[in-house]
Amino acid sequence: MLELGKAGTAGTEKGVLPVFRDGSVVATLRASDWKEAATAVVGDREWLFSKRKGELRGRWAAEPEDSARLRARQTSMWKGTWTADLDGTQVQVQSLSYWKGTHRFVSGGRQVAESGSTGGWSPRPTLSPEPDLPLDHQVFLLWLELVISRRNTAAVTAATTAGAVGSS
C-alpha cells in the first residue's frame, strides 16, 4: 500500500510529502497549495503534474509543456467518476464511498487499485495497487486522490459557508 506522509517528514524538505510503501519512502510529492499542480520524484525521474484544458496531466519534467503521458478527467460530478489514461492504459475511477472519499480503479474489467485514507484528524490518501501497476502510475493516482479530496473539502466548506451566511 502507498501512503502519503506528512510534509517535511522522513528526511524530506519542508513542503515535500513523502510517499511510503511498507514504511520506506519510494517517491516524493511537492503539491501546490493553490493550484492543482505538483512535482513528483519517482526513482531518478521527475514528473510534473498539472491541470490543463480541464484535465489533470502528468509528464516528465524534460518533456514539452503540452505533452502528457498520464491524464485524468472527471466524467460525472454527481457520481464522482473519472477516467484516466496511464501511458495508453485506460482506467475507470469509480466512487466506492462518497463519505469516505474512496475510489476503485478498474482497467479492462479488472480492479488495479483501491484508495483509502489514514483516518484521524488530518486524513491522508492511501492507494492499494495491484503489483503490476507501475510505481509512476501509482503516484499519479495517489496525487489524483489528493486533488479529489481537496476538491471535496472545498465544496463542503463552500456549502457550509453559504448556508451559514444565508441563515444569518
CATH number of the domain bearing residue 59: 2.40.160
pLDDT tens track of the chain, all 168 residues? Answer: 999 999 999 999 999 999 999 999 999 999 998 899 999 999 999 999 999 999 999 999 999 999 999 999 999 988 889 999 999 999 999 998 877 779 999 999 999 999 999 877 888 999 999 999 999 999 999 999 999 988 877 666 776 776 655 555
Residue 25's H or E segment, with its range, is strand 24-31
Predicted TM-score of the model (pTM)? 0.90
DSSP labels, 119-167: -SSS--EEEEE-TTS-HHHHHHHHHHHHHHHHHHHHHHHHHHHHHHHHT
Number of structural domains, the chain?
A: 1
Q: Which three cell numbers stand for residue 166?
A: 444565508
Length of the chain: 168
**pLDDT of amino acid 165:** 56
- Its domain, for residue 145, covers 2-166
**pLDDT of amino acid 98:** 75
Q: Give the model confidence (pLDDT) of 33-70 as tens digits.
A: 889 999 999 999 999 999 999 999 999 999 999 999 99
